[in-house]
Amino acid sequence: MTTTPTEHSPLGLLGGTFDPIHLGHLRLAEEAREALALGAVRLIPAGQPPHREAPSSSAADRLAMVRLATAGNPALEVDDSEVLSSAHSYTVPTLERLRRELGAQRPLVLILGADAFAGLPSWHRWEALFTLAHIAVANRPGHAPHGRRWPGVLSAALEAATRTRLCREPARLAAQPAGLVLPFDMTPLGISASLIRDLLAQGSSARYLLPDPVLDYIGLHHLYRRN
Ligand code: ATP
């Protein structure tokens, strides 16, 4: 039986640098929404991400590209609070803010690619994530940790935190506000923002890896050129 998402359905959250947003991100949001019966997915571009080098393009450009990519799809919302904040972007404080906004009972589902999930123990206050949201983990080409292959691939701390939370039934996400870890399969897409930046820097085409309006924006604003 399929359930029709409502405003009380679990809300998906997809954070990222989106430097630039591409079809891997959009399919991740779309397939998670469908597979997990999410009411909507909220994309949260990071302002100043703490664990990586400064993004190539400004927060304002990355936000503008996310808005262009999601325009016309009411199931994809854009949260600009990290971009507008001058503080470092950490996921736990963002989830705490969303909890205050949406209440203690609304199921929240943090959507991560397998690479991001494996890196969780380097995140600020990562263990608090489980008290604030569920985590849905998608496969990503080139990144091993997914589904049954988790044991032995994840760090011991993450494996231990995941073991008792592992869930294979999407319907369970709606029954509690947070705390489950659910692997799900999406169409494997070997697209990354770094691949797109590299292609553009060498003057090659990135067409069909990202939405045309985003590519047009990149051209208009001379982003990702080598000089
Ligand atoms: P970069 O290449 O600059 O590291 P990226 O393409 O990984 O960037 P991010 O904005 O860092 O993009 O990713 C945001 C989230 O989207 C992460 O959870 C990441 O795992 C996920 N993601 C990005 N691309 C894909 C993809 N092709 N398939 C599955 N998940 C993806």
pLDDT, residue 202, reads: 95
ipTM of the complex: 0.99
CA of 227 to the centre of ligand 1 (A): 25
Q: Report, in this order, helix, strand and coil percent for the chain, each rounded to 5.
A: 40, 15, 45
Q: Is the CB of 191 under 6 A from ligand 1?
A: yes
pLDDT, residue 50, reads: 66
**pTM to 2 decimal places:** 0.94
pLDDT, residue 3, reads: 56
Q: Is the CB of 113 under 6 A from ligand 1?
A: yes
Q: Is the CB of 138 under 6 A from ligand 1?
A: yes
Q: Which residue has the tokens 């870890």?
A: 181
The domain locations on the chain are 11-189
pLDDT, residue 1, reads: 44
pLDDT, residue 40, reads: 97
pLDDT, residue 141, reads: 85
**CA-to-CA separations, 182 to 132, 164, 166, 215, in angstroms, rounded:** 15, 11, 6, 33
Q: Mean pLDDT per segment of 10 residues, for the chain of length 227 residues?
A: 67 97 98 97 88 80 98 97 88 95 96 93 95 95 63 81 93 97 94 97 97 98 88
pLDDT, residue 56, reads: 86
DSSP sequence for 169-185: -GGGGGGSSS--EEEE-
pLDDT, residue 6, reads: 65
pLDDT, residue 146, reads: 57
CA of 212 to the centre of ligand 1 (A): 19
pLDDT, residue 7, reads: 65
> Residue 68's closest CA among 15, 22, 16, 14?
22
Q: Is the CB of 193 under 6 A from ligand 1?
A: yes
CATH code at 11-189: 3.40.50.620
Q: Is the CB of 41 under 6 A from ligand 1?
A: no
